[in-house]
Amino acid sequence: MHDFGELTTLGPALAPHRFGFVAVCGRPNVGKSTLVNALVGEPVAIATAHPQTTRERMLGIWSGPDFQAVLVDTPGLHRPRSALNRYMVGEALAGCRDVDLVLLLAELPALTVDKAQTWLPGDVAREGLEQLVSLGKPIVLVLTKHDRLREAAALLPVTRAWSKLHAFEAVVPVAALEGHGLDALGREIVARLPPGEAHYPDDQLTDRPLRWHLAEFVRAELFEHLGEELPYSCAVVVERYDAGAEKDSVRATIYVERESQKPMVIGRGAQVIKAISIAARGRLERLTGRPADLRLRVDVAANWTRDPARLASLGYSAIDHGAPR
């Protein structure tokens, strides 16, 4: 777990215990899940190099002696073109409606100082900001991938360009994978949490059950082992999860949209599906600390990404788009 130093030792004599919900929002692939994992200290959210891999809201629970921040990891804000995309954007905005603070993540452009002077956030990024501002929540701008900056002095004009669009509570540059800026961001978050007792045990890291995490682990491995587009057409449903004292037994199905996609997921001699199963099982075993037996099969749910009824049958149902509390 990242060492936040004085951040986690505020002391009861200095301030009351703080508790609150913090939405982590932004465009696809800006580092939302990576940041949640860095703050929580464990890989509770799947993070890949591919955009739009997060499909549902998830709570990452970050606890210290004097605070507990519930981080609402959300799908990326984008212009939806399918039923699945509309569901994902709905999940993202729903995650911001009843929180104490919103973190808007935006990737720092790899620019020189000269180029940065005239740089402006893109249209979709500005639309996302407008959607968040309309919710009326305080917003901290988190400029991610700080290590990509070609020249340190380019940070100021980029910050200035964003600040012309909205009066942010604070602007914090971070490089979450390297741990840069996390202390400063942590202080900004904790300072804005209202007084309150912890809602979760100190050792609880997420609100999701193990079967949900297993499905996410399989999806993450689909991105690692398949081509660029096919994983976006895959859904994972855990049919059975038997948690044993010494070993877990899991059965899950990977659904694709077309019959022609099945052999690509299975691979010649079932080599691809075996590799996916072994890697996902390893992720699960690292999370639980015990062995697991994972069996995967592949089936077809025709055009499921474009059919709201199919989406719901595979677990993507916008039943609760209210408060995260």
* Equal CATH topology for 5-191 and 210-313: no
Burial (0-12, 13-18, 19+ Cβ within 10 Å), 154: buried
Which tens digit of pLDDT belongs to each residue from 80-128? 555 765 666 566 566 667 789 999 999 999 888 999 999 999 998 898 8
Which tens digit of pLDDT belongs to each residue from 177-221? 888 999 999 999 999 999 999 999 988 888 888 888 899 899 989
Which tens digit of pLDDT belongs to each residue from 225-268? 997 789 888 999 999 999 888 899 999 999 999 999 999 999 99
pLDDT of residue 49: 55
pLDDT of residue 296: 97
pLDDT of residue 59: 82
Among 311, 319, 321, 317, which residue's Cα sits nearest to residue 255?
A: 311
Q: How far apart are CA 195 and CA 79, in angstroms?
A: 37
pLDDT of residue 325: 45
Rounded mean pLDDT, 37-48: 79
pLDDT at 314 over 70: yes
pLDDT of residue 47: 64
pLDDT of residue 210: 86
pLDDT at 276 over 60: yes
The class of domain 5-191 in CATH terms is: alpha beta
Contact 106, 89 (CB under 8 A): no
Q: How far apart are CA 231 and CA 249, in angstroms?
A: 24
Domain boundaries defined on the chain:
5-191, 210-313
pLDDT of residue 320: 44
Q: How far apart are CA 231 and CA 272, in angstroms?
A: 13
Q: Is 245 helix (H, G, I), strand (E, B) or coil?
A: coil
Which tens digit of pLDDT belongs to each residue from 50-90? 544 555 667 889 999 999 999 988 765 545 555 765 666 56
pLDDT of residue 8: 46
For domain 210-313, the CATH superfamily is K homology (KH) domain (3.30.300.20)
> Degrees (nearest 5) of the Cα angle 185, 113, 177?
35
Among 324, 78, 103, 77, which residue's Cα sits nearest to residue 200?
A: 324
